[in-house]
Amino acid sequence: MKEAFLNIVTKNQGIIHKVCGVYCDTIVDREDLFQEILSQLWRSYPTFRNESKISTWMYQVSLNTAITHFKKNKRRPDRNDFSKSFLQIADEHYDETVEDQLKSLHKAIAKLTGIEKSIVLLYLEDKKYEEIADIIGITQNYVRVKMNRIKGKLKKFMGEV
């Protein structure tokens, strides 16, 4: 069972990295959260039934863990360290303007609430409203309403940045 689990997680670890990227400001935080998500996935794996997609299950567990993650009050290293590594665009696509826009988007997302962050992440990941609703456990209609509000908020925050 562990082998199958490791295989699934290794193949789909991009999901965990993106969730950590949206919810964490520093490398230390990201590592803590990554490990906690991994533990939660392992604990939840025996109850995972193939009724839902692997990605849906991984998003559910990862986002729930990130939203309820407890950050210790400790001195944090340079905040920029993490965004630099997370927002690095692959060389073949590199574009300075796009990277700047992504950085301001990342800063704007950081100002959203936990649930809003999960909705915007799934939206950016090109998930359909139906799937977003399924992952977060809210209605499709509300995802639509919430998404409109989030777009407004992000526009405002990105303007400030």
Both tokens of 5, joined, read 């689990």
In angstroms, give the least distance from the CB of 110 to another protein: 14
CB of 5 to another protein, least distance (A): 9
Is residue 150 within 8 Å of 120, Cβ to Cβ? yes
Interface of this chain with another protein, residues 15 to 34, rule: CB under 8 A: 17-18, 21, 32, 34
Which residues, including other chains, have CB under 8 Å from residue 120's CB and lie 6 or more apart? 22, 109, 112, 147, 150, 154
The nearest distance, CB 88 to another protein, in angstroms, is: 5
128 touching another protein, by CB under 8 A: no
Least distance to another protein, CB of residue 28, Å? 13
Residue 110 is a binding residue for another protein (CB under 8 A):
no
What is the torsion angle, in degrees rounded to the nearest 10, for the CA atoms of residue 112, residue 114, residue 115 and residue 121? 70
The residue type at 22: V
Pick from 28, 54, 87, 110 the residue near another protein by CB under 8 A: 87
- CA-to-CA distance for 153 and 161, rounded, in angstroms? 12
Interface with another protein, residue 149, by CB under 8 A: no
Question: 97: which residues sit within 8 A by CB, 6+ positions away?
Answer: none
Smallest gap, in angstroms, from Cβ of residue 136 to another protein?
Answer: 7
What is the 8-class DSSP label of residue 58? H
Cα separation, 137 vs 131, in Å, equals 10
Q: Which residues bind another protein (CB under 8 A)?
A: 2, 6-7, 9-10, 13-14, 17-18, 21, 32, 34-36, 38-40, 42-44, 47, 57, 60-61, 63-65, 67-71, 73, 85-90, 93, 98, 101-102, 105, 113-115, 120, 123-126, 136-139, 142, 146, 151, 154-155, 158
